[in-house]
Amino acid sequence: MKRKLQKILILPFLLIIFGGCSSQPMIKMSEENQQKVDEKRAKLEGNKSTGKLQAVNNNQWKVYDTSPKFNLEDFMPLAINELKTWTNDKQVRTSYLCYKDDQAKLSQSVSIQDGKIETHLLKWDQNSLQQAKIKGSKFPLQKYDGADVVYEQLLSGPIKKNHSWKCGKQTAKISEIYQEIKLKNQTFKDVVEVSIGDSKFYYAKGLGLVAQIKGQEVWYVKSISDNVMLVTKIEAGLPNEQQTSLIERQKIEFHWQTNDTIANALTFILQNNHLLSENQVVESITLENGVAVVELSQGAVATFNAHPQGEKAVMASIITTIGQMMNTDKVKLTVDGGPLIPWTFKNTPDSVYQLNDEWFNVYSQDIVQYN
């Protein structure tokens, strides 16, 4: 059954709200998780931002007289299939949870602003929330294992006023705990204020980070969307219907939801663009020594040859699209653990193919390059 989806454009990404043939969400949640989602929506309901943000006045914020008992996991930055939209009233930033492993206590998310993507890794235990940033990454195709990165501690237990810890080269401190704060027509409850240098960070129970203040600049959460899929446009080489070249450049949809797999995302791309049949899938895809190794279902070669533009165009399309997705210029195609043997496309040793810009210019099977 095909999914019935509502799309909301959030450049450079689309936001897809899961739906089905009924009013029930596609992703089933336990009653406990559903209650958390409902509470989260209730906290932000009616909090639409208008006008220009003035300097923050915290005189009316309600402070706890004594520190309440909070668990660190109450302040996790993002939930599964959740997207946060931030603003400083001049710019917009979105963040989305890509992976979450509760057993390893490790998650991975992206922050997108002005077309630039930053990957965030988060690890946690009962006493700390720690984050590492990976700059300059593309959409999160690679699942990081959390090794060989530098973490900074965002929050440390116990959650008590004046509790302090090291955050990089600076000292972080819980400077206040509020029953309620108001930021531009928005109200957040059970908020921990963390001071680091001249910056302040505000973590709300059940919502995670909801505001950052540095000097007069204030970034705050404008909206939270639950149970959504992230969609972006990526560049691909699709078969050229005019056959003046093997492939032509086009922008195509790439779908992602929390804890998805690259193989599943690539299957959607190939099926959606008629490069694989509905019964064929990408079994696996890995990056090994700079080579993207892709395992396809049986019958893929027959599907390539049944395509109106022929096997050569389909092979060039798949190799180019996968290479661009995985940020490599070498792609290996396999079936049942062995090399994929094309019928008309020039084969290479071990079925390792190198991307070739000439595929966009000429229609020929004799332009394959490999090492």
pLDDT digits (tens, 9 = 90+) for 160-207: 999 999 988 899 999 999 999 988 778 999 999 999 999 999 999 999
Angle at the Cα of 106 from the Cα atoms of 203 and 102, rounded to 5 degrees? 95
Check residue 10 and give its pLDDT.
46
Structural tokens at position 21: 């043939």
Rounded distance, CA 111 to CA 67, Å? Answer: 32
Sorting pLDDT into bands at 50, 70 and 90, what band is 7?
very low
> To which residue do tokens 């699942």 refer?
143
Q: What percent of the chain has pLDDT over 70?
A: 80
Q: Hey, which residues does 252 pair with through a beta bridge? A: 234
Sorting pLDDT into bands at 50, 70 and 90, what band is 147?
confident
Sorting pLDDT into bands at 50, 70 and 90, what band is 136?
low
The lowest-confidence range among 34-48, 97-111, 349-363 is: 34-48
The lowest-confidence range among 14-28, 182-196, 251-265 is: 14-28
User: Strand 199-204 and strand 208-214: pairing?
Assistant: antiparallel
pTM: 0.75
Rounded distance, CA 63 to CA 78, Å? Answer: 25
Check residue 32 and give its pLDDT.
55
Rounded distance, CA 153 to CA 55, Å? Answer: 28
- Res. 351: pLDDT tops 90: no
Q: What is the mean pLDDT of residues 132-160?
A: 78
Structural tokens at position 359: 């595929």
The lowest-confidence range among 109-113, 197-201, 346-350 is: 346-350
In the DSSP assignment, the letter for residue 299 is: T
From the number of C-beta atoms within 10 Å of its C-beta (0-12, 13-18, 19+), residue 12 rates as middle
* Between 137 and 95, the higher pLDDT residue: 95
List pLDDT tens digits, range 52-97. Answer: 334 467 888 999 988 888 999 899 989 999 999 999 999 999 999 9
Number of Cβ within 10 Å of residue 201's Cβ equals: 20
Check residue 246 and give its pLDDT.
93
Check residue 144 and give its pLDDT.
77
User: Strand 330-335 and strand 291-296: pairing?
Assistant: parallel
Q: Which amino acid appears at position 301 of this protein?
A: V
Contacts for 2 with CB less than 8 Å, ≥ 6 apart? none
Rounded distance, CA 194 to CA 262, Å? Answer: 36
Contact assessment for residue 175 and residue 155, using Cβ atoms and an 8 Å cutoff: no
CA atoms within 13 A of residue 68's CA, in its CB half-sphere: 14
**Strands of 244-296, DSSP E:** 247-256, 282-288, 291-296
